Amino acid sequence: MSPEQLLAPPVTTLPTLRAAVTGLPAYVPGRRSLGADIAALASNESHYHPLPAAMVAVTEAAGRMNRYPDMAAVELRERLARHLGVTAEEVAVGPGSVGVLQQIITGLCDAGDEVVFAWRSFEAYPILVELAGARAVRVPLDDAEGHDLEAMAAAVTDRTKVILLCTPNNPTGVPISHERLEAFLQSVPSSVLVVIDEAYVEYADTGPDSLVLYRRYPNVCILRTFSKAYGLAGLRVGYAIATAAIAEGLRRTALPFAVSALAQKAAVASLDAGEEMAARVSAVKLERARMAAELAAQGWKLQPSQGNFLWIRADDQLLASLVDAFNAAGILVRAYAGDGLRITVADPASNDRVLRLLQAKAA
Ligand SMILES: *Cc1c(COP(=O)(O)O)cnc(C)c1O
């Protein structure tokens, strides 16, 4: 026998991934900025530097990174409870709101159970649902780029465990109205958990008062994040507000210590810096309005966005031409084949580059 034959074990079959994993749609992350003149407008991040108070909190916490963080995130949950007017028992935190959403789906769905959501919406939804072995039920958006709540209610079956609503919707920017959301909650079984994903709520001038609905309908779960307006995308922290029983279940399904002490401290400091954050959000909203007005004048027909991004519905021919132009200009944006293009609203100089490019494309 040769030495290779002695060392190599006989290989008959190799480890295989579950079919749910090999069949997953790949999550396409926003491309990263590669240089100073590249505008990163693909991931709806905050273009501002971290809040000074968050920097101080992280620097302090870094000196204790040999220790595990507080697994129960007591300080952050109590601070959030005070901020929101709920109890800490009704708050569950996780590594980004995507992390919390994974806990929600794995905590509520057995194999073959159904999760209903609008499409197109947030790309992570089908991935998390299918990974859990549940079935993704996509309900097309209406003609105004919003959730078709009647069709979503009609899609509920006795296998439906969770409904995901995204307001304002990523990537279209369209919110759900409070009245329509309340009518929807009255029409779906109270045994179905209705998750209201409000990743962009800080930027929204209109939309539901989800906390009011949560108090009226115990099957509501609100999902929020520090990744967008609060500018902590790189630290991974988000949270759910749900009944104490559901929130307790989410805390049980959490990966231990998934939210670092740095993230917990930065989140608390950011809540304390609410006015500074609000000023930043106001500036982005002004830029959003400026861009929307200018694009309308250029002849683009866009739905008003309540997020920190704009949505251009485009067939694949227009999409390819826009993507080429943005790539050539060094502006990273997010293209969705068959649907359109999402552009993050950022600093005035980057926004001007977007407006100039789209002016040329509109002409
Ligand atoms: C960005 C985003 C999130 C937040 O993700 P994190 O995991 O908190 O960074 C959640 N939902 C939607 C719709 C988003 O666009």
Per-residue pLDDT of the chain (363 residues; tens, 9 = 90+): 566 666 777 778 888 999 888 888 666 665 666 677 888 999 999 999 999 999 999 999 999 999 999 999 999 999 999 999 999 999 999 999 999 999 999 999 999 999 999 999 999 999 999 999 999 999 999 999 999 999 999 999 999 999 999 999 999 999 999 999 999 999 999 999 999 999 999 999 999 999 999 999 999 999 999 999 999 999 999 999 999 999 999 999 999 999 999 999 999 999 999 999 999 999 999 999 999 999 999 999 999 999 999 999 999 999 999 999 999 999 999 999 999 999 999 999 999 999 999 999 986
Pocket test for ligand 1, best of 41, 46, 97, 309 (most atoms within 8 A of CB): 97
Q: Given ligand 1 and candidates 122, 196, 342, which is best to mutate, with the most ligand atoms within 8 Å of its CB?
A: 122
Could you tell me the residue ranges of all domains in the chain? 28-44+275-362, 52-272
The predicted model scores a pTM of 0.95
- What is the distance in A from the centroid of ligand 1 to the CA of 55? 22
Q: How far is the CA of 97 from the centre of ligand 1 (A)?
A: 6
List Cβ neighbours of 224 (8 Å cut-off, separation of 6 or more). Answer: 97, 198, 199, 201, 238, 239, 240, 241
Q: Does domain 28-44+275-362 have CATH number 3.90.1150.10?
A: yes
**Rounded to the nearest whole angstrom, what is the distance from the C-alpha of residue 44 to the centroid of ligand 1?**
9
Main-chain dihedrals φ then ψ at residue 334, nearest 5 degrees: -110, 120
Residue nearest to atom 3 of ligand 1 (CA): 199
Which distant-in-sequence residues (6+ apart) come within 8 Å of 114 by Cβ?
134, 135, 136, 137, 157, 159, 160, 161
Fold of 52-272: Aspartate Aminotransferase; domain 2 (3.40.640)
The alpha carbon of 227 and the centre of ligand 1 are apart by a number of angstroms equal to 7
Secondary-structure percent of the chain, ordered helix, strand, coil, rounded to 5: 45, 15, 40
Q: Is 30 in the pocket of ligand 1 (CB under 6 A)?
A: no
- Taking CA atoms only, the protein residue closest to ligand 1 atom 11 is 199
Coil/strand/helix, residue 100: helix
Q: What is the position in ligand 1's atom list of the atom closest to the CA of 99?
A: 7
104 Cβ inside 6 Å of ligand 1: no
